[in-house]
Structure 1
């Protein structure tokens, strides 16, 4: 059974981890809104604070949770998936084969608003990584 010493710790550790994930989410939501403000094709119809709060909540689901899992439990699978998601929606979308000519606004929307789907994938990856770490897999040695 894997050691669970990181699972039982002080409230201060949780505050630091949640603050790190929350700050990364706020920064990403701020980048989204800064880009949206300078683009003439994007309009925010609701109040700024309610839109920013919703974007930050979805960004926490997409960006904050993998950071939290890595910092708190040393589970890296969701962070790798997060990097692939960001790479796909912000870089690969501009390739002529995959992308569209609509700019980066759809990429921001897909990163943020598909957060519930990403959370399911993060949970499956984290559970699988935790399970694999707990197994006693014998190391094959060459007998020469």
Structure 2
């Protein structure tokens, strides 16, 4: 088994990656739930705990997966997309040129509820980055 160095890491690597991804997802879901309970424009129809659980699940798909991929496999492409998604929905959408004045739904709803679409993009980017890293591309200089 010595021919597979670095392929199979210890359980501690998985624990650290899952803990970091889970904590980031729970933190974002907490912010979303806290904002939702304080805002008079947003109404939570079910219990706060079920709303928090659903937000945490979607937050793991949107925020946790790129963090997990970065920590566990050093794949950074999905994290860049996650940062662009968060930048767009939380900052750029409020610019008059791009978005409207608040819109129909809060920005975090679109961050969370489009998680399946983001997961597909993360998978494609992670697969592409993994494939490109696995290729041995030698840079050859032209001889004179």
TM-score by length of 2: 0.91
1:36-75 equivalences in 2 (<5 Å):
36-75=36-75
Structure 1 unaligned regions, length at least 5:
none
Structure 2 unaligned regions, length at least 5:
none
Cα RMSD (Å) of the superposition? 1.9
Structure 2 CA distance, aligned partners of 1:100 and 1:10?
Answer: 48
Partner of 2:131 in structure 1? 131
Residue 92 of structure 1 contacts residue 98 of structure 1 at CA under 8 Å; is this kept in 2?
A: yes
1:78-93 equivalences in 2 (<5 Å):
78-93=78-93
Partner of 1:116 in structure 2? 116
**C-alpha distance after superposition, 1:33-65 (max 9, x if no partner):** 122222110111110111100000000000000
- Which structure has the higher relative contact order (CA within 8 Å, separation 6+)? 1
TM-score by length of 1: 0.91
Point out 4+ residue stretches in structure 1 off by more than 2 angstroms.
3-7, 102-106, 140-144
